Protein backbone atom coordinates (compact mmCIF):
# COMPACT_ATOMS: atom_id res chain seq x y z
CA UNK A 1 0.00 0.00 0.00
CA UNK A 2 1.14 3.53 -0.67
CA UNK A 3 2.17 5.92 2.07
CA UNK A 4 3.40 9.50 2.27
CA UNK A 5 5.33 10.80 5.27
CA UNK A 6 6.02 14.42 6.07
CA UNK A 7 8.07 14.15 9.21
CA UNK A 8 8.17 17.90 9.89
CA UNK A 9 4.84 18.85 11.41
CA UNK A 10 5.80 22.48 11.91
CA UNK A 11 8.65 24.72 10.75
CA UNK A 12 9.27 28.31 11.74
CA UNK A 13 11.70 30.54 9.84
CA UNK A 14 12.45 34.21 9.58
CA UNK A 15 11.70 36.00 6.34
CA UNK A 16 14.37 35.63 3.64
CA UNK A 17 15.62 32.34 5.01
CA UNK A 18 15.59 29.29 2.75
CA UNK A 19 13.49 26.38 3.94
CA UNK A 20 13.12 22.77 2.77
CA UNK A 21 10.01 20.69 3.36
CA UNK A 22 10.64 16.96 3.34
CA UNK A 23 8.43 14.30 1.76
CA UNK A 24 9.14 10.57 1.74
CA UNK A 25 6.85 8.12 0.00
CA UNK A 26 6.30 4.38 -0.29
CA UNK A 27 4.82 2.61 -3.27
CA UNK A 28 5.14 -0.72 -5.04
CA UNK A 29 4.23 0.74 -8.41
CA UNK A 30 6.93 1.65 -10.90
CA UNK A 31 4.71 4.34 -12.40
CA UNK A 32 3.35 6.93 -10.02
CA UNK A 33 2.83 10.66 -9.60
CA UNK A 34 3.86 13.00 -6.84
CA UNK A 35 2.27 16.32 -5.96
CA UNK A 36 2.67 19.30 -3.70
CA UNK A 37 -0.24 21.43 -2.51
CA UNK A 38 -0.31 24.63 -0.48
CA UNK A 39 -3.10 25.36 1.99
CA UNK A 40 -3.05 29.03 3.04
CA UNK A 41 -5.08 30.22 6.05
CA UNK A 42 -8.13 30.64 3.81
CA UNK A 43 -8.29 26.84 3.60
CA UNK A 44 -8.39 26.11 -0.11
CA UNK A 45 -5.73 23.70 -1.32
CA UNK A 46 -3.70 25.13 -4.17
CA UNK A 47 -2.00 22.75 -6.58
CA UNK A 48 1.72 23.56 -6.95
CA UNK A 49 3.37 20.79 -8.93
CA UNK A 50 2.99 17.30 -10.36
CA UNK A 51 5.90 14.97 -11.05
CA UNK A 52 5.82 11.53 -12.66
CA UNK A 53 8.12 8.73 -11.60
CA UNK A 54 10.05 8.71 -14.87
CA UNK A 55 11.10 12.31 -14.65
CA UNK A 56 13.77 12.89 -12.03
CA UNK A 57 14.77 16.29 -13.28
CA UNK A 58 14.60 18.87 -10.57
CA UNK A 59 12.26 21.73 -11.21
CA UNK A 60 12.44 25.39 -10.36
CA UNK A 61 9.61 27.87 -10.48
CA UNK A 62 10.57 31.28 -9.18
CA UNK A 63 11.48 30.88 -5.50
CA UNK A 64 10.16 27.31 -5.44
CA UNK A 65 12.21 24.26 -6.33
CA UNK A 66 11.60 20.55 -6.06
CA UNK A 67 14.14 17.76 -5.66
CA UNK A 68 12.91 14.32 -6.72
CA UNK A 69 15.21 11.46 -5.66
CA UNK A 70 13.91 8.02 -6.57
CA UNK A 71 16.83 6.33 -4.82
CA UNK A 72 15.66 7.68 -1.49
CA UNK A 73 11.93 7.86 -2.36
CA UNK A 74 11.88 11.54 -1.57
CA UNK A 75 10.30 14.57 -3.18
CA UNK A 76 11.46 17.59 -1.22
CA UNK A 77 10.29 21.16 -1.68
CA UNK A 78 12.52 24.18 -1.13
CA UNK A 79 11.42 27.78 -0.81
CA UNK A 80 14.23 30.25 -1.35
CA UNK A 81 14.17 33.63 0.35
CA UNK A 82 10.93 32.85 2.16
CA UNK A 83 8.25 35.49 2.55
CA UNK A 84 5.44 35.94 5.03
CA UNK A 85 2.94 35.03 2.29
CA UNK A 86 4.54 31.58 2.14
CA UNK A 87 3.07 30.84 5.57
CA UNK A 88 0.72 27.90 5.01
CA UNK A 89 0.34 24.18 5.44
CA UNK A 90 2.02 22.24 2.66
CA UNK A 91 0.90 18.77 1.65
CA UNK A 92 2.79 16.19 -0.36
CA UNK A 93 0.69 13.55 -2.15
CA UNK A 94 1.12 10.36 -4.18
CA UNK A 95 -1.01 8.76 -6.86
CA UNK A 96 -0.28 5.32 -8.24
CA UNK A 97 -0.84 4.58 -11.89
CA UNK A 98 -4.12 2.97 -12.95
CA UNK A 99 -5.80 3.65 -9.67
CA UNK A 100 -9.53 3.89 -10.17
CA UNK A 101 -10.74 7.38 -9.49
CA UNK A 102 -7.24 8.90 -9.53
CA UNK A 103 -7.13 8.97 -5.77
CA UNK A 104 -4.36 10.72 -3.92
CA UNK A 105 -2.62 9.61 -0.75
CA UNK A 106 -1.71 12.70 1.25
CA UNK A 107 1.00 13.18 3.83
CA UNK A 108 0.07 14.71 7.15
CA UNK A 109 1.20 18.17 6.08
CA UNK A 110 3.88 20.58 7.26
CA UNK A 111 2.87 23.90 8.76
CA UNK A 112 5.31 26.60 7.68
CA UNK A 113 5.39 29.86 9.59
CA UNK A 114 7.45 32.67 8.12
CA UNK A 115 8.01 35.50 10.57
CA UNK A 116 8.83 39.03 9.47
Partner 1 sequence: SQTIHQWPATLVQPVGSPLSLECTVEGTSNPNLYWYRQAAGRGLQLLFYSVGIGQISSEVPQNLSASRPQDRQFILSSKKLLLSDSGFYLCAWSVDRVIYNEQFFGPGTRLTVL
Site for partner 1, rule CB under 8 A: 33, 35, 37, 42-47, 50, 52, 91, 95, 97-98, 100-104, 106-109
The whole-angstrom separation of Cα 115 and Cα 93 is: 26
Tell me how far, at minimum, the Cβ of 73 lies from partner 1, in Å.
19
The whole-angstrom separation of Cα 57 and Cα 46 is: 22
Specify the residue, 80 or 111, whose C-beta has the smaller distance to partner 1: 111
- Cβ–Cβ < 8 Å for 93, 103: no
SS3 17: coil
Specify the residue, 42 or 71, whose C-beta has the smaller distance to partner 1: 42
Specify the residue, 15 or 113, whose C-beta has the smaller distance to partner 1: 113
Amino acid sequence: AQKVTQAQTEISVVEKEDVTLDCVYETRDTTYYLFWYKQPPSGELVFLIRRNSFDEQNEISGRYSWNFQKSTSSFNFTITASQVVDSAVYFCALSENNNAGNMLTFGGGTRLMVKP
